[in-house]
A = this chain, B = another copy of it.
Amino acid sequence: MQGNEQLRPVHAFAQGLVEAGVCHVCISPGSRSTPLTIVLSRHPQLHTWLLLDERSAGFFALGLAKQTRTGVALVCTSGTAAGNYLPAVMEAAAARVPLIVLTADRPPELYDTGANQTGDQLKLYGSYAKWFTQMPVPENTPQLFAQAKDTASRAVMKAMAPPAGPVQVNWPFREPLLPPLAEQPKESNFSTTDELFSVTQPTRAFWGKVVLSDEEIHRLAAMLQKSRAGVLVCGPQDSPGLASAVTELAAVWGVPLLADPLSQLRGGGSPIEAQLQTTYDLWLRNATLRESLRPDLILRLGRVPTSKFLGLWLAEVTASQVVVDDGQAWHDPFFRVTGRVFADPEDTCHRLAQCLSQASATVSVGDGPQARGEWLQSWTEIQKISAHSMSAGVKAASGIFEGRIFTELFNVLPSRSTLFVGNSMPVRDLDAFWPNRVSGPTRILANRGLSGIDGVVSSALGACGGRTDPLVLVIGDVSFYHDLGGLMAATRHHLHCLIVLVHNDGGGIFYGLPQATQPDTFGFFRTSHGLDFQSAVEMYGGQYQHPKNWQEFRGAVQQGLAQDTWTVVQVDTDAQASTDIRQSIAAQVAVALGVTRS
């Protein structure tokens, strides 16, 4: 190897990332990051994704990390480039997604001297980064070689350890980043051999878990056994293991399971359909119904539920509420939690289920089971009636009702697909109008950590990365506009994706909010823009469909899914009309459930 010997630690770092399980690196172009870009892109076990805009790159990495459930690395140059990652880093922190952010920097002697493109990158992401480290300027010494590899492991493990999240490794590089143009033969100043990537023993990780003792599990199980009106609530979470453990617990405990649209419980194939609650967002809008259901114990898993109305109910009821979380999070904006379990949720559910199952087989447990049976029966009825009423209401709705997009997709989405939903209205409509049975598993994802409308296109495209099963994104037009540039990745990286663009020309959500009462300022919320996105979609190399009715919509979706490329299916809707229909369907559901007033 000739040339930049002092960059050997960068090779060790790359190898450390790979050994710690990193498979994907999202690189944005720039000069200061040259050593990272060249070394990481040459590593035979790293898949590199080139993304020109760092903001989109951050969100792409987020989606990729969600889909693959592994830490994804990001590389950018110095200056504002690194600042563009902040929105994705914020979302990753809130949603617990492991990102390893590698920010290239000037060497420390140039900090705060007015050197070009040099800002203060130390702890750039503040409290949003789980961990920050400042690398030494690389030098060819055994110590810095070993330190670089060790730091790579450490960064990945910090990012992956529950609760997962983003970390920042700030990498200062001194010039020459490469030997000057004239002084060296082409292709020689960085080794392309594998030798440098395998000079040390791999570091292996053995992961422990925070678990309750048997005594603590029994104490908790006794609470569950004693309850006569228990409820399980599973908020947004992304572990299939937890989804099945919650299901197992619900089955044994015999209580309703309120499944958030992002709980991975609504994707279909659940063995406890009679217990699964998926329509609560519609009928919990009704105060009489909220008042009529009085649980005595609520066990909550996952993050705070998406539904505002479920939140309202959780804030109103006086039941004991127990939250299970291994991240020491305080997920309770209602201040109603009476029990906190600081332990792995999957292990806790699984062992609670075992414990309840053994107990019911061996000892008398009072009238809890019978009371719970009646309690569950009433919930099952509510779910059945409300689902039927909702479904009928959606079918009867005239025109292109936004909520119907989900009941339609529900029927055409193939199994093993991923549904990614945008924030603002799409995730709310998903919550209210996505039925609870499908033929095969659908994974449902959203950026619900901080619920931003930014970066959604890129996050969904990132979630397409490295897979062949179809992904469908449902997104509103303001959110689509926000990250239009993210579409560049779809063609560049040959992604297979169908985007349903719900176009109501602005922020439709505000028709249902008090801002609509202020005509002189409503334009600042409604924000009509009049954009016709067809030409932008075509500029980025996508197919564009513009169905005018549901039959055409189904055709466009099926055609898009069948193609090996990406398609935008634009559905023009009327935000005011959809707002009215939502309210009307919620009222119909309440009537079907025997309520005459809210």
Contact = CB atoms under 8 A, between A and B. Distances in A.
Nearest to A78: B450
A357 interface: no
A576 interface: no
A110 B450 CA distance: 13
Contact of A41 (B48, B180, B521, B540): B521
B515 A50 contact: no
Contacts of A27: 524
Interface in A120-141: 120, 123-124, 126-128
A86 B488 CA distance: 23
Given A126-B123, A450-B119, A482-B485, A455 B517 contact: no
A114 B330 contact: yes
A84 B455 CA distance: 10
Contacts of A179: 514
Interface stretch (A187-195, A223-231, A281-289, A495-503): A187-195
Contact of A332 (B89, B114, B117): B114
Interface string A199-210: 000000000000
* Residue of A79, A110, A510, A527 ringed by the most chain B CB atoms within 10 A: A79
A115 B538 CA distance: 39
Contact of A37 (B112, B124, B484, B524): B524
Interface stretch (A400-408, A429-437, A529-537): A529-537
A452 B79 contact: yes
Interface string A166-191: 00000000001111110010110110
Contacts of A52: 478, 481-482, 527, 529
A507 B177 CA distance: 17
A50 B524 contact: yes
A458 to B, nearest CB: 13
A518 B186 CA distance: 6
A178 B113 contact: no
A220 to B, nearest CB: 21
A520 interface: yes
Contact of A525 (B37, B115, B515): B37
A156 interface: no
Interface in A96-117: 109-110, 112-117
Contacts of A31: 509-510, 513, 515, 525
Nearest to A56: B482
7 nearest A-B residue pairs (beta carbon): A80-B452, A114-B331, A535-B535, A115-B333, A114-B304, A178-B514, A79-B450
A333 B175 CA distance: 13
Given A181-B514, A454-B84, A455-B80, A521 B123 contact: no
A399 interface: no
Contacts of A293: none
25 contacts: A31-B510, A38-B518, A42-B521, A52-B478, A52-B481, A52-B482, A53-B454, A79-B90, A79-B451, A83-B89, A90-B119, A113-B331, A113-B335, A114-B333, A117-B450, A119-B128, A124-B126, A178-B518, A186-B518, A186-B519, A187-B518, A192-B520, A484-B485, A531-B539, A535-B535
A516 interface: yes
Interface in A406-423: none
A94 interface: yes
Contacts of A11: none
A177 B516 CA distance: 12
A29 interface: yes
Contact of A186 (B34, B109, B123, B517): B517
Contacts of A451: 79, 116-117
A91 interface: yes
Given A79-B90, A116-B308, 19 more contacts: A38-B521, A38-B524, A41-B521, A42-B521, A55-B454, A79-B452, A83-B86, A109-B335, A114-B329, A114-B332, A117-B450, A117-B451, A181-B516, A186-B518, A482-B485, A488-B529, A531-B540, A536-B536, A536-B539
Interface in A341-372: none
A466 interface: no
A91 B83 CA distance: 10
A240 interface: no
Contact of A514 (B53, B87, B176): B176
Nearest to A113: B333
Interface in A535-572: 535-536, 538-540
A582 interface: no
A523 interface: yes
Nearest to A84: B87
A586 B38 CA distance: 30
Nearest to A183: B514
Nearest to A117: B451
A112 B330 contact: yes
B113 A81 contact: no
Given A37-B525, A83-B86, A481-B52, A42 B330 contact: no
Nearest to A302: B114
Contacts of A510: 29, 31
Contacts of A540: 531
Given A126-B124, A190-B518, A520-B192, A454 B485 contact: no
A455 B80 CA distance: 10
A443 interface: no
Interface string A313-349: 0000000000000000111110100000000000000
